[in-house]
Chain A
């Protein structure tokens, strides 16, 4: 049986801590070793001390929460740490809930701090319990200095007692990281409301709704309300307990923005606090994790990896990747750059900022070499192809029909452009909303192969 987790080692020079001195409080965030160094990203002061502390705590809270426990499954608490990215004067802390149904990111823009960036990069950051307890005590009157990573003097001292923590990171948790940007890049702004309306709406959310209850967010007067009736402009949401953090922080927010994708399979909820933003991205159902969504499968299947190194070379920790300038730099057309970035997103090398509608460079500090191996559907599709289980019945300009011999039954796949039909239960259940099934993937791979072979035959005949 394939492994469902990877062993990942967090290696910190010291435990993150909040220290007090006459000059005020200093938050020392320990960064995990990358290659041979402990990254040192940022030194400065967060302007709104309490709010900043609450946002960091919020990230820690989501990362340590399991919103859904499947029946007959014993919840195993894994001590995961969030990921921090420093680049182009932006500090981003991101993480995933243990059930992979909720992604959280706190963005600190230059307006929210006084300080300087020492270097750029991505790594894990230690969010231990005592540090979290100390953060809970931070008030607005406190001066909160922050150091993400640390300078050499401290590092040398810290190296004497490096903290090593080995954790088994479930593959599905890692897959969530690469899946979420695929949804985010397809999202559009649906609602943008001010402070008072946001406060009223978030406070009106039911406190203990059933996990399985589905709701639709619709406009109501100047604000928003929950409805049970679907409509074209509504944002679908369930598992409302995942939004509790937003309710708690709403008194301090300036705006609430809600984004969703065309199929309304996920939504992003963004609270803006001046120069700081908190984004929570949710799957359509709390029982669904981003890991199982399969939105990146088509990208990975079609991946022409030959030009990716050129795009990768042009990534310099930009907080907003401009597709046009990247196109100029790489001499690739904008479409290729766009597809390239999507593929890089699916391998964890870029994230997506929904509000700015742009990718940002970050490289997840996990071993993602075997990213395709993490996608059993794609792996199984390739196996079907290798085992000769896929037969093309017809292939015309109107579409193609293929027969795929599965374990003990033969499935029939019909392709017509982006449209696809399959007789398997997965496709029956999700109708492609959670990515293609292995049979459709295998069929598309076969067709790609088929058309290449046909072209060669034609060329040979000529």
Chain B
């Protein structure tokens, strides 16, 4: 029987038969109504059309109570017309509060609908935070005729007295807050304009509005939402007397974690302090926090307030000076200087406790301020200059690439080889591990374990899995193809990549594979012995000897890469005269021991192309070709590029050029820097790398990269080169100069990076001072933020205890026609 009735109800809802619905429920008791709640809820969940939804919703309203309303139910938006008041009123005295609560929480109802239901006596207006958020989101719905009418508020006049103050108590959320509403509303439809008008009309207490906005700021609201309250407070234009009345509240806000709140409170107190004497206790208790603010202006304002307070309360000079010392920890020299000047201004004699405090902070101070403190304390800051802190370029040549990195340990057993393969598959960009695997795969090819297939099966399976997901990564795919072929005998596919480098990789793998299949244990010539990709020539000679002993010849690709991996200019190859043939002739030609080109097919032989590329680096990109395509183009940023760097270390300078182009694009066009660019900076990390103009160019550019890791690498290189005394100040300064006077100069980034370098030691300070001085020899376009660089330079000069010695720099600075801070700094620099 019950089932039949439930089915009937479902049908009535389905057909949106309102008359039927009224007749169905007519005369039912409360418990009878409740028994149909499940059917009503199910019908609501199922409904998708407007009419059906309305019928189901009203069925729910009349049948559901707080107890039988499901915990998880998603409502559709309800309008006032959605409620069938006749039906509801005929059956219930009130609507279940849980339904209204959920509608409000899910923001599926408008405040005016709530108002309507409350007026009908069906609900009590909720007083939850969710409802306040709903009001915030709905907005004041102001008519826009520039006059304020409380009755036009979405929830009516009854709302006004209570809920308007609740708006100041509830923070709101990302989408529902006063700040969020006003940000996307027309100026005359915002909460702030409505509330301002209300205070003007005196329908809202101005005094309470002022207090409420300050109280909201003390609630720890998020910065965006707190910003609305500080703006609103200022829009009320508090008078001096009103501000004075609220001095405690302002003072308390100085400890707020929100910078805009602190600034507002600080400015208010400064205004008050000019006319009224502020209680000194109030300042003493609250002024320290803004001195730690990141913003320079906030810390300066706090010092200004301290200054004003001392003027009106001279007795508090000791305590306030002590607090002012906290500003010495600020990162800005301007703030530090201001603090010192304040202390000097109000303390004729520095008392012992203050002296101790100043001395404690001395290491945190900018060099120029340190000198001021020394004067203040009648101390001498002139530290004897240590000759070790004077930077001079060392005349020593860079060390041999064989000495600047560790040796590669060859794999000895099949087990270790399989372990390396397992590792390599998960670290496919580890090109040195790849070389170790290639080497071992050839050397151990004649003695596989009996159960090799079984042991290597998991690795093969993994390689197949990775092959499916790495279709677009040339270098990775070539490596995976090789491993799959080696372990499983799959056909080694030709590379269909457009990248000639990838084709070359593929060719190399094929020749190695052939050697493995032949079980020739002869060593690969091209396997590096050092982690920077170089081969120790002594070891190469031994490998070569083994090939001679068997009367065989290594593959052309193997020979070419071996040649590229030799430290040709750092090793005496004259003792290789005993070896004849193309390879050694090419090595002697590449290392400039000989000018004879012995091969008749010079333009076709890979090893001769390699030799020519090494001997004449500028032509390298054009001359080293594969199937008529230059090899060193389109290297990309992935494993291919990393492989290329270790395969061709003797011409690695050309990769720097590729890096410059990519990095310049990212700086000029504000593209987000590709992390992969780091690969082109990697050669510079090797101490054996010989820097040329291009290297300094990429080093300077990387220092201003927006990527923290790229600029970090550049800083590390700069620091290390100064330590090794191998940074050519002039070359580096020329490149810095180009970046400085570029229309899109990034002064902030440059200063930030160079100051990190200068902070390392006095030697680094000296070197960076020289770089900046030389970089300031002249330029046409004075970039924005140039004062920041001059301020940095000034600190460097103070720190280095020196003055400008470069005449061109002096002339350039004299020629700058600027006003304000730049002018002041130029004057200060030239006066030293």
Residues of A bordering B, CB below 8 Å:
50, 132-133, 135-137, 139-141, 196-197, 199-200, 203-204, 206, 209-210, 212-215, 220-223, 225-229, 248, 251, 406, 408-412, 414, 421-425, 427-429, 431
Contacts and interface: CB of A to CB of B under 8 A. Distances in A.
Given A196-B364, A409-B458, A421 B415 contact: yes
B322 to A, nearest CB: 14
Contact of B713 (A200, A210, A228): A228
A220 B723 CA distance: 12
Contacts, number: 118
Name the residue in A136, A414, A423 with the highest tally of chain B Cβ atoms < 10 Å from its Cβ.
Answer: A423
18 contacts: A137-B219, A141-B285, A196-B364, A206-B708, A209-B708, A209-B709, A210-B707, A212-B675, A215-B709, A225-B756, A225-B760, A227-B715, A229-B713, A410-B458, A412-B458, A414-B415, A424-B422, A431-B423
Contacts of B685: 229
B679 interface: no
Interface of A is mostly: mixed
B293 to A, nearest CB: 10
Nearest to B461: A409
Contact of A213 (B361, B422, B709): B709
B329 A251 contact: yes
B208 to A, nearest CB: 20
A210 B709 CA distance: 9
A428 B425 contact: yes
Contacts of B286: 139, 141
B459 A221 contact: no
Nearest to A227: B716
Given A136-B257, A209-B708, A421-B415, A411 B458 contact: yes
A137 B455 CA distance: 65
Interface of B: 171, 218-220, 252, 255-257, 285-286, 292, 326, 329, 331, 361, 363-364, 415, 418-419, 422-427, 454-459, 461-462, 675, 685, 707-709, 712-713, 715-716, 720, 756, 759-761
Nearest to A223: B759
A210 B458 contact: no
Contacts of A423: 418-419, 422, 455-456, 458-459
A199 B364 contact: yes
A317 B457 CA distance: 52
A388 B171 CA distance: 60
Given A206-B708, A220-B759, A424-B422, A132 B220 contact: yes
Contacts of B459: 423
A425 B285 contact: no
Given A203-B331, A421-B415, A428-B423, 16 more contacts: A50-B255, A133-B171, A196-B329, A196-B364, A204-B756, A221-B759, A225-B760, A229-B720, A251-B326, A408-B461, A412-B455, A414-B415, A424-B422, A425-B425, A428-B424, A428-B426
A443 to B, nearest CB: 14
Nearest to A220: B760
A133 B220 contact: yes
A215 B678 CA distance: 14
A136 B220 contact: yes
A408 B218 CA distance: 62
Nearest to A205: B708
Nearest to B329: A199
Contacts of A139: 252, 255, 285-286
Nearest to B363: A196
Name the residue in B363, B456, B708 with the highest tally of chain A Cβ atoms < 10 Å from its Cβ.
Answer: B708
A412 B329 contact: no
Contacts of A226: 712
Contacts of A136: 219-220, 256-257
B760 A196 contact: no
Contacts of B708: 206, 209-210, 213
B449 to A, nearest CB: 10
Contacts of B461: 408-409
A196 B361 contact: yes
Given A199-B329, A424-B458, A227 B712 contact: yes
Nearest to B218: A137
Contacts of A199: 329, 364
A81 B602 CA distance: 75
Contacts of A406: 458
A271 to B, nearest CB: 15
B364 A200 contact: yes
B144 to A, nearest CB: 35
Nearest to B710: A228
Nearest to B257: A136
A210 B675 contact: yes
Sort A-B residue pairs by CB-CB distance and give the 5 closest, nearest first.
A136-B220, A428-B422, A429-B426, A228-B712, A428-B426
B448 to A, nearest CB: 14
Given A221-B759, A227-B712, A428-B426, A421 B285 contact: no
A49 B461 CA distance: 61
Contacts of B675: 210, 212-213
Nearest to B752: A204
B257 to A, nearest CB: 7
A139 B256 CA distance: 9
Contacts of A133: 171, 219-220
A256 to B, nearest CB: 14
A406 B457 CA distance: 12
A246 to B, nearest CB: 14
Nearest to A426: B426
B1 to A, nearest CB: 38
Name the residue in A213, A215, A412 with the highest tally of chain B Cβ atoms < 10 Å from its Cβ.
Answer: A412
Given A196-B361, A411-B458, A137 B426 contact: no
Contacts of B707: 210, 213
A227 B675 CA distance: 16
A220 B720 CA distance: 12
Contacts of B712: 215, 226-228
B462 A425 contact: yes
Nearest to B256: A136
Contacts of A135: 220
Contacts of B455: 412, 423
A225 B759 contact: yes
A248 B294 CA distance: 10
A14 to B, nearest CB: 19
A223 B364 CA distance: 11
Contacts of B423: 428, 431
Nearest to B286: A139
Given A228-B712, A423-B418, A221 B329 contact: no
A427 B257 contact: no
Contacts of A209: 708-709
A409 B457 contact: yes
Given A137-B220, A204-B756, A221-B761, A228 B458 contact: no
Contacts of A206: 708
A107 B418 CA distance: 48
Nearest to A439: B458
B97 to A, nearest CB: 18
B168 to A, nearest CB: 13
A9 to B, nearest CB: 16
Nearest to B252: A139
A423 B426 CA distance: 11
A210 B706 CA distance: 11
A139 B361 CA distance: 24
Contacts of A213: 675, 707-709
A304 B255 CA distance: 54
A43 B715 CA distance: 52
A135 B422 CA distance: 52
A323 B427 CA distance: 42
Contacts of B760: 220-221, 225
Nearest to B294: A203
A180 B800 CA distance: 46
Contacts of A215: 709, 712
A424 B419 CA distance: 10
Contacts of B454: 410, 412
